Amino acid sequence: MSGGVDSSVAAFLLQQAGYEVIGVTLKMWSYEKTYLGKTGATSDNNFIQEAQTLAKQLNIEHYVVDIQEEFA
């Protein structure tokens, strides 16, 4: 779950269809290390907070899973 339009709509539609929905955000790398200081810079917390906000609005649980080591 990214907090963007695609995952938001997917979660909403699944809820409307009667499915039990939870949100999971995979942390695969650090945005701070990759993009910080560049135009349009963001941080890991921005993505996580957006997803958490969306999950709260949809009244679903949200989990962040740090898989950076496995992804590398």
Sorted by where each begins, the domain ranges of the chain are 5-71
Q: How far is 23 from 15, CA to CA, in rounded Å?
A: 12
The predicted structure's pLDDT at residue 32 = 58
Question: DSSP letter at 28?
Answer: -
The predicted structure's pLDDT at residue 39 = 46
| pLDDT tens-digit profile, the chain (72 residues) | 888 889 999 999 999 999 999 999 988 777 555 555 554 445 556 778 889 999 999 999 999 999 888 887
Q: How far is 14 from 43, CA to CA, in rounded Å?
A: 29
Token pair 């695969």 in the structure block, residue: 28
The predicted structure's pLDDT at residue 44 = 59
The predicted structure's pLDDT at residue 41 = 47
